[in-house]
Amino acid sequence: MSRNLLHVPLVGTGTQLRGGLAHPVKHYHCPMTTMNNPTSHRSGGAKSTARRVRSFVRRHGRITPAQTRALAVHWDRFGVELPQAGNLGALFQQQAPLTLEIGFGTGDALLGAATVTPAANFLGVEVYDAGVGQLLLRAAATDLSNLRVFRADAVDVLEALAPRSLARIWIFFPDPWPKKRHHKRRLIQPPFARLLESRLSSSGVLELATDWEAYAMHMIGILDATPGLTNECGDGHFAKRPGHRRITRFEQRGRRLGHDVFDLKYVQRTS
């Protein structure tokens, strides 16, 4: 889908937010390494009774017979239900740092990382059956033991996970909800940012990417202001693409159309 963006060159440069406008500036040398209303999680507080504004709309999209079979055959092996989230150690064969990807699509980044990093554990969250089925199909073909999948709302998953339990969180190309009346549906909002921070371990890393400039500015403004999160490249600056974030066919098409991609990297640092 074509998106109208202001063109900001990112080759060898970053973009800094100054007075609400984007200005090209030099990159810091960074190491390559649902939205909801405010509710509590395990860190304390009383839950709000306000209705959650979800960052996604469930649609019955096309799903192939192979993806449908994968959901039926391989879910018991790779799938995780919400009640199991409190004891993830029992789901993996090894005790290892855990990476969570929220909205993994067809699972390219998650599958690739789990394949080349067998000493780490990986967890994916996705709400669309076709993407989940595709990842299960490929995970079974490669006989992975360090990958598990939630088919659920990311907010519910994060609230069910123990605080400080994640070494990394990835959020690559979340829906930008470009129309102003839909901005409330954007995943990255202050309550969700605080929830993300609470699940990162000490020195844990949060990485995000978007090809929608206005959403990139929205995210960096919120995350730079979130207590406990430090922008690895300096406030208002974007990061270089990390090597483990594979370039998808969707991203390649966007680049051919002139879309820039904005990467963000934050480290959990408690003062």
Work out the average pLDDT over 209-221.
Answer: 95
Catalytic residue among 129, 153, 175, 260: 175
Give DSSP secondary structure letters for 60-99: -----HHHHHHHHHHHHHHEE-GGGGGGGGGGSSS---EE
Cβ contacts of residue 71 below 8 Å, gap of 6+? 129, 132, 133, 136
pTM above the 0.85 mark? no
Q: Is 175 a catalytic residue?
A: yes
Work out the average pLDDT over 232-260.
Answer: 89
CB neighbourhood size of 2 (10 A): 9
The full set of domain ranges for the chain reads: 34-56+64-268
Give 172 or 15, the one with higher predicted confidence: 172
CB neighbourhood size of 223 (10 A): 22
Give 227 or 30, the one with higher predicted confidence: 227
d(CA 88, CA 81): 10
d(CA 5, CA 19): 19
Work out the average pLDDT over 240-253.
Answer: 86
Classified as helix, coil or strand, 172 is strand
Cβ contacts of residue 154 below 8 Å, gap of 6+? 34, 55, 102, 103, 125, 187
Per-residue pLDDT tens digits for 2-56: 443 333 333 333 444 433 434 333 333 354 333 333 333 333 333 434 455 554 4
Please classify residue 72 by burial: count the beta carbons closer than 10 Å to its beta carbon, then call 0-12 exposed, 13-18 middle and 19+ buried.
exposed
**CATH architecture designation of domain 34-56+64-268:** 3-Layer(aba) Sandwich (3.40)
Give the DSSP H/E element, type plus range, for residue 221. Answer: helix 213-224
Q: How confident is the model at residue 182 (pLDDT cuts 50, 70, 90)?
A: confident
